[in-house]
């Protein structure tokens, strides 16, 4: 999407830009950014999109909302995704996606304009894993992360037997790009709003075919590895997850919350919401989720250019289970909607 495709209201306060960069393998990758046009950015937010998705159209609403809240927002279409080069949705090596993201985000964070700003990761679904793997490579670099229904563990009931994994590995070496991995329709399972589903299906940059063999294998082994090392997560983070998510089990986010050694961590669970809780829900649900995200970021955006250990964020040693704030309760009382919060830190 170009600036001409955006509404006048969006353009009045936000500057949108696109740029192609080249990765270490010589491939052209699409990047985009939403910047506050009328003020200095509070901090930078780096977007990591989900499997088969892209940034400029699907994550436009996220970019616009965060830019309107005062943040400089940067996105990159991963190799084989969106407008970037590569075989469509073919993941040959998951680490390549992570390193491409690290390289681009670091170039932004260390530019003259933003080197003194706090920096945050924002990852949805598979992008949540990308964000956590970026953090693993740069453990003291980021001031925090927002994780939306992250794909960081395979639910026990669908976890394949080790023999199946072995067979999948061998087949992925022989016919890596074959689209023969069985899967149900993710769009129908992830996005509640029928109109939003139609918009997603109409987006030519979103992959809607079956996963390729090698892609399936890379997603599987990456999730299994992440599950084993959740205790290494140390940065401040917010996890938001719909309780009715059928794509990534909410128990996965609960496990991340309990396993991570982060002293500043928050888990918010939303009743009756699905996987696409920042896009595929009714407007009032989306407003609630982004209100929580922006509030969380706002409390942590003053740690300019410093790693979390030096930010001197006020922390609490006790985790408390609480209902959402009284103010949010009043706003949504008529909808009988609430969120549950597990919180350790602010």
Q: Judge whether residue 130 has pLDDT over 60.
A: yes
* Residue-range definition of the domain harbouring residue 171: 3-316
Predicted confidence band at 322 (pLDDT cuts at 50, 70, 90)?
Answer: very low
- Which of 28-32, 158-162, 313-317, 318-322 shows the highest mean pLDDT? 28-32
- State pTM to two decimals: 0.84
Q: Domain holding 76: CATH number?
A: 3.40.50.1820
Active-site residues, by number, are: 125, 245, 275
Share the mean pLDDT of the chain: 84
Q: Judge whether residue 156 has pLDDT over 70.
A: no
Which residues face 19 on adjacent strands? 31
Residue 293 lies in a domain: yes
Secondary structure of 297-343 as H, E, C letters: HHCCCCCCCCCHHHCCCCCCCCCEEEECCHHHHHHCHHHCCCCEEEE
Q: Judge whether residue 169 has pLDDT over 80.
A: no
Residue 332 lies in a domain: no
Identify the pLDDT of residue 206: 95
- What does the pLDDT average to over 59-80? 97
Whole-number Å distance between alpha carbons of 17 and 315? 37
144-148 and 118-124 as β-strands: parallel, antiparallel, unpaired? Answer: parallel
Q: Judge whether residue 10 has pLDDT over 80.
A: no
Whole-number Å distance between alpha carbons of 146 and 280? 18
Identify the pLDDT of residue 213: 85
Predicted confidence band at 167 (pLDDT cuts at 50, 70, 90)?
Answer: confident
Residue 340 lies in a domain: no
Whole-number Å distance between alpha carbons of 102 and 168? 29
- Name the more confident of 125 and 210: 125
pLDDT (tens digit, 9 = 90+) per residue, 173-188?
Answer: 766 787 765 555 778 8
pLDDT (tens digit, 9 = 90+) per residue, 204-260?
Answer: 999 988 888 888 889 888 998 998 999 999 999 999 999 999 888 898 899 999 999
Whole-number Å distance between alpha carbons of 27 and 79? 8
Residue 321 lies in a domain: no
Whole-number Å distance between alpha carbons of 139 and 178? 36
Identify the pLDDT of residue 171: 74
- What does the pLDDT average to over 317-339? 35
Predicted confidence band at 159 (pLDDT cuts at 50, 70, 90)?
Answer: low
> Cβ of 137: how many Cβ atoms within 10 Å?
12
Residue 329 lies in a domain: no
Residue 341 lies in a domain: no
Residue 343 lies in a domain: no
> Cβ of 142: how many Cβ atoms within 10 Å?
22
User: Residue 72: which residues within 8 A CB-CB, separation 6 or more?
Assistant: 33, 34, 35, 36, 41, 43, 44, 45, 114, 117
Q: How many domains does the chain have?
A: 1
Residue 66 lies in a domain: yes
Identify the pLDDT of residue 334: 41
């Amino acid at each position: 999407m170009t600036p001409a495709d955006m509404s006048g209201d969006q353009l009045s306060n936000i500057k949108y830009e696109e740029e192609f960069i080249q990765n270490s393998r010589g491939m052209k990758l699409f990047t985009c950014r939403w910047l506050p046009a009328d003020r200095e950015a509070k901090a930078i937010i780096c977007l990591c999109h989900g499997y088969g998705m892209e940034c400029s159209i699907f994550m436009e609403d996220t970019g616009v909302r965060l830019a309107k809240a005062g943040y400089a927002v940067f996105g990159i279409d991963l190799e084989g995704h969106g407008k970037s080069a590569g075989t469509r949705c073919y993941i040959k090596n998951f680490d390549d996606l992570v390193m491409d993201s690290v390289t681009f985000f670091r170039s932004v964070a260390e530019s003259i304009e933003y080197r003194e700003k706090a920096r945050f990761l924002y990852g949805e679904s598979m992008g949540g894993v990308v964000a956590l793997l970026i953090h693993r490579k740069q453990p003291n670099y980021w001031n925090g992360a927002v994780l939306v229904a992250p794909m960081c563990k395979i639910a026990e009931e669908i976890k394949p037997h080790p023999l199946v994994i072995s067979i999948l590995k061998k087949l992925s070496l022989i016919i890596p790009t074959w689209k023969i991995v069985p899967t149900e329709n993710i769009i129908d399972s992830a996005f509640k709003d029928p109109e939003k589903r139609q918009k997603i299906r109409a987006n030519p940059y979103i992959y809607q075919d079956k996963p390729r063999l090698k892609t399936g294998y890379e997603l599987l082994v990456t999730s299994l590895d992440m599950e084993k090392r959740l205790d290494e997560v140390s940065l401040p983070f917010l996890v938001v997850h719909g309780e009715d998510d059928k794509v990534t089990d909410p128990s996965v986010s609960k496990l991340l919350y309990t396993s991570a050694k982060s002293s500043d961590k928050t888990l918010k669970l939303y009743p009756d919401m699905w996987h696409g809780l920042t896009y595929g829900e009714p407007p009032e649900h989306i407003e609630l989720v982004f209100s929580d995200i922006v509030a969380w970021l706002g409390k942590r955006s003053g740690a300019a250019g410093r790693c979390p250990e030096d930010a001197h964020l006020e922390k609490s040693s006790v985790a408390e289970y609480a209902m959402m704030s009284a103010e949010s309760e009043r706003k949504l009382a008529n909808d009988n909607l609430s969120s549950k919060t597990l919180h350790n830190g602010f």
